Structure 1
Amino acid sequence: CGDVRTFRLALWAEHCGRHMEEHLRPSSLECMGAMNALAEENLDKYAGDDVMRNDSHLTMYPLKVDKDGDVDVLEHIKEFPDTGGSIKGKLSLLLPDSVTQ
């Protein structure tokens, strides 16, 4: 076990709120699936009505990308719950759409 591996495992444990067996094989489909599931679970908690403690800091951004590359907001989360801000952004006269939408 090298220092980089130890650091990486500690960093993932901090982000996820716990040590996870999947972190031992970060390139595996199992690890990617576990991280995606945790990120989606945390997004649902963040967007939910109940305020709850969460030791995990990992979440997914509330957007979906279809097979053609089109980006849209998730059906159940249209704006950020804590600020009311637009998830997808809005048009700007100063900035290009690629930055704000």
Structure 2
Amino acid sequence: VSSVFDYWFHVQDGPGSHVVLKRDHPGQDVPEQTLREAAILAALKSYRTNDSKADVMCALVKDVRKVKGWAHGQVAVDSVLQNLHVDIDQSLEEKLAKK
């Protein structure tokens, strides 16, 4: 359901869920705070959930691909846009749900 120009986030160096941040078009600017919140959500649903900080990669969906023969959920990332070092806020999901 994602578009090639959407952003994909995943915690670095271990298992976790990915987060896709939808954009309306490839030129749509996304506030830095929104990128950081998406990265924190990815960290919260990963092996780093109980840590205070995490490193999360951000890539375009078009640069993330499944590889035949790899384990379920494993992907190759051809190009990382940026790495975000985030403070994990355990209450972020609740805060965002109230907005």
State the TM-score, normalized to the length of structure 2.
Answer: 0.29
**Structure number with bigger Rg:** 1
Higher strand share: 2
Higher helix share: 1
State the TM-score, normalized to the length of structure 1.
Answer: 0.28
